Amino acid sequence: MEPIKITLTTTFFIIMLGLSTQHKHLMLALMCIEAMMLTLFTMLVTYTATSLAVSHTPMPIILLTISVCGASLGLSLVVATTRTHGSDFLKNLNLL
């Protein structure tokens, strides 16, 4: 079971590195965040499968629900930004 945990942790940190170097498109940054959430979901499922605790069983579903809500909010922000600014380039936005 340890190689799976090491692989998932390495995947999470690689995606985090990709998110920190992503400075061009808003959509690609949101896709990195979504991949991080899916990696966290997989980690949580493997943890609850090995721990056999009944109290931890609904946690992956709760994380997946929050992730879906965040993804829909991010997609609506991308659509609104594209309609107002013409593209999803982050350098076109005045974030400060």
Structure tokens at 73: 């909010």
Q: In the chain, how many H helices and how many E strands?
A: 3, 0
Distances (CA, A) of 9 to 2, 36, 40, 69, 72: 11, 10, 9, 24, 26
DSSP state, 11? H
Q: Is 0.85 topped by the overall pTM?
A: no
pLDDT at position 39 is: 93
What class has domain 1-90?
mainly alpha
Please report, for the chain, the start and end positions of each structural domain, with discontinuous segments joined by +: 1-90
The predicted-structure confidence for 37-88, as pLDDT tens digits, reads as follows 999 999 888 888 887 777 777 888 888 899 999 989 988 988 888 888 777 7
